[in-house]
Amino acid sequence: MRVTSDLWVSALVRRIFSDGGFAAMRRRGAREAGAIFVVLRTRLGVWELYGPAPQTSYDDARPSERQFVHMLTASDEDELEKRLAREMRFDPDVWVVEVEIAAEISAYLALAD
């Protein structure tokens, strides 16, 4: 059984803050099962967008674990905002969390191969 999007995002934000990073909820989506997008702002001013992995990425051994894929790297915030706007038109129930962390993003997100 998969935890709710609300609980998962809350846990991510708490974990990042406890590790000395920063996390902010840019958009609150559907409480139970909204898709989650994570925006990583690097210290070099580059934006990276991570979103839900396709269903084909999920393993039968761990079908309920959330997995993410790298979707975009942009040096221009407008490019990132356009991509997020497209995702929100497709699914208005998405969550968007922006993070600034010193560690690799894989320490917080399960990245699909």
Query: From residue 29, how far is each of 3, 32, 75 by CA, in Å?
Result: 15, 9, 26
In this prediction, residues 19-37 reach a mean pLDDT of: 92
Which among 89, 112, 99, 100 has a CA at the least distance from the CA of 37? 99
pTM: 0.88
Average pLDDT over residues 2-11: 90
* pLDDT of amino acid 79: 94
| 46 has a pLDDT exceeding 60 | yes
Domains and CATH numbers, the chain: 5-66+80-103 (3.40.1530.20)
Confidence band of 54 (pLDDT split at 50, 70, 90): confident
